[in-house]
Structure 1
Amino acid sequence: MREISLDRLRTLVAIADRGSFADAARALNLAPPTVSLHIAELEERIGTPLLSRKRGQIRPSATGELLVERARRLLADAEQALDDVQRQVQGLVGRVRLGASTGAIAHLLPQALEVLRQRHPAIDIQIAVLTSHETLARLADGRLDVGLVALPQPPAAGLVIKPWRRDPVMAFVPAHWRCPARITPEWLAARQLIFNDATTRLSRQTAEWFAKAGHHPVPRTQLNYNDAIKSLVAAGYGAALLPHEAATPLSDRRIVMRPLRPALWRRLGIAHRAEHVERSTQHVLDALWNLRLT
């Protein structure tokens, strides 16, 4: 069964509105024979006349009235669809799927979201809490648009991974502990410790930091939520090594923060697919890029 062309329906509506083939042709910028052909094709497709002449004016038949009513809705829907798509192309609206760790979501992403809310309020940001490995996998198969990942990462086919931030890893220690101005692996290895979950890059970095000094401490517990770790530190449960973003205040007086010796850094990158980047996704990338630190 052949489908009905929107162009033919538009011609029918123009005739119904103007009561004249000639006026409809002028309004649509079509030749009069083309307008006649459109109606002939519609009537052949429907199987009944759609227009009738009454008192020298062309009016829709009963079937024509029904089709005109439905045609108006279809044409309006088509125009709305094109407008929505165009707004998406222009970056005025859109949905961007972003994956990141809890630390980045809690302390870095809100700053970018505030900028986006002010400049591009119709862009919907959907956030998923993921490890770097999960983020890259979802980017590769098209389930994410942007990812914040720990660095370094091996090259990934079809993905762009750019260095974004370098934040110091600090020692977070219960305030009632007496601790030196700079924390060494030797001093910390003799204390009770809270590590990040073993699946995270920060956990591996922490283990390597201790191992280079010849220590292999066993933590009391391992978590993958930095704010929960800080709560345990505040309660005196143990000390932890966590990244500290420059703009993030340390408000809990039950915790003291000390730099490490030797220094340790948490590096983050921004990842996205190498193919065409939609405008809405580019707006998110731009907002994130403005938070970069090297």
Structure 2
Amino acid sequence: MIDVERLLILREVARHGSKAAAARSLTLSEPTVAHHLRALERRAGVPLTARAGRVTRLTPAGEALLQHADAIAASLEDAERCLHRHADLRVGRLRIAAFTSYCATTLPRPLAQFAATYPGVEIGLEETETDEALALLRDGRADLVIGFADSATPTPDDLPLTPLGQDEYFAILPDSHPLAGRTRLDLGALAHERWISGCARCRTHLVAHAADSGFVPHIAFVTEDYIAAQRLIAEGLGVALLTRLALDASPAIPGIVAIPTQPPTYREIFLALPREPAPAAEAFAALLRGA
């Protein structure tokens, strides 16, 4: 395959009429230019340049090759302009993967701000649980992840992370429950209840927190729909652990109470990027850090 750099050197010799002038234009030494031209001629199998006094002119074969060199140079200039547009975010792509309650509460405002600031960037959002979101990031199918972790499901250690805050867990009970008037609640007091749980990470947290309180929860219902969980509780079918974001993401459901746990427990919200993030992902991450 013909070396592109050598084609561009040939083009500069044709433009300037000498190896010395081409060398100055390219900030190379004249022997370096001569070396590349000789190598290009060996690859071509025919002479590409000829001296006419002090001027270096192209042979017919060199002229034929120059047309391709001009086309390649134009294509490279287009590629460079494209990269600059991506670098300054006139164009680009941002694929976000984030968990449900963050999508429903916190994400829309900064996403709208980003879209208004960078209208040329194509934005995509996949609402999915943290483990799947991290898999998308590692596979190159997402550019930025917003996930959560806690003591039972620690944060990943193979990606650059930024903490975005804490999200407190609450015990959710029917308002007719004997413990509904408590200001704080040890989960051990709910050891014999039927439990409603959600995603795998939420179930892991529930089981770990219950173990700290001395019991194994009887999980009777599994749903990732926060509204469904709260309506089941309102009907007296069980109790649950839900976070502040999950409650804020739902309309007010009559017939339930939310009580902080004792001791309080939280999940940590984090932002994850690949080790070499796209410019759009870096810009959105900066916006979230500032917020």
Structure-2-length-normalised TM-score: 0.63
Secondary structure in structure 2 of the residue aligned to 1:9? helix
* Secondary structure of the structure 1 residue equivalent to 2:268: strand
Match of 1:169 in 2: 169
Which of 5, 8, 16 is equivalent to 2:3? 5
Letter in 1 for 2:18: F
| Matched residue SS, 1:168 | strand
Equivalent-residue separation in structure 1 for 2:32 and 2:256 (angstroms): 81
Task: Please give the secondary structure, in 2, of the residue aligned with 1:259.
Answer: strand
Deviation at 1:139, TM superposition (A): 7.1
The aligned residue for residue 266 of structure 1 is 266
1:74 maps to which of 63, 72, 75: 72
AA paired with 1:6? V
Q: Does 1:285 align with 2:285?
A: yes
**Cα offset for 1:278?**
6.8
Deviations 1:7-31 (A, max 9, x none): 432233335456x337963654667
Q: 1:94 to 1:181 in 2, by over 3 A?
A: farther
Partner Cα distance (1:24, 1:10) in 2: 14
CA deviation vs aligned residue, 1:229-270 (integer Å, no higher than 9, x gap)? 356568886554311239946435556553335464332142
Structure 2 CA distance, aligned partners of 1:255 and 1:65? 85
Partners of 1:136 and 1:246 lie apart in 2 by: 20
Out of 76, 79, 101, which is 1:103 matched to?
101
Q: How many residues align?
A: 281
Deviations 1:121-141 (A, max 9, x none): 538667573445x66678789
Q: Match for residue 44 of structure 2?
A: 46
Percent identity, aligned pairs only, is: 27
| CA distance in structure 2 between the aligned counterparts of 1:196 and 1:51, rounded to whole angstroms | 74
Task: Report the CA distance shift for 1:23/1:225 in structure 2 as closer, same or farther (over 3 A).
Answer: farther
Change in CA separation of 1:170 and 1:155 when aligned onto 2, cut-off 3 Å: closer
| Counterparts of 1:207 and 1:38, CA distance in 2 | 69
> Does the 8 Å CA contact 1:96/1:125 hold for their aligned counterparts?
yes
SS of residue paired to 2:242: strand
Q: Which residue of 2 aligns with 1:149?
A: 148
After superposition, the C-alpha distances for 1:149-172 in whole angstroms (9 at most, x for unaligned) are 312355865555564322232355
Letter matched to residue 110 of structure 1? P
Q: What is the CA distance between 1:218 and its match in structure 2? A: 2.9
Counterpart in the other structure of 2:224: 224
Runs (5+) with no aligned partner, structure 1: none
- Structure-2 change in CA distance of 1:207 and 1:32 (3 Å): closer
Distance 2:11 2:290 in 1: 51
Q: Is the 8 A contact 2:230 2:253 kept in 1?
A: no
Distance of 1:12 and 1:162 partners within structure 2 = 49
Does residue 196 in structure 1 map to residue 193 in structure 2? no
SS at match of 1:242: strand
Distance between the aligned counterparts of 1:73 and 1:91, measured in 2? 27
Q: Residue 158 of structure 1 contacts residue 274 of structure 1 at CA under 8 Å; is this kept in 2?
A: no
Q: CA deviation at 1:46?
A: 1.0
CA RMSD of aligned residues (A): 5.1
Structure 1 contact 100–147 (Cα < 8 Å) conserved: yes
In 2, Cα distance between equivalents of 1:249 and 1:98: 19
- Aligned positions of 1:237-248 closer than 5 A: 240-245=240-245, 248=248
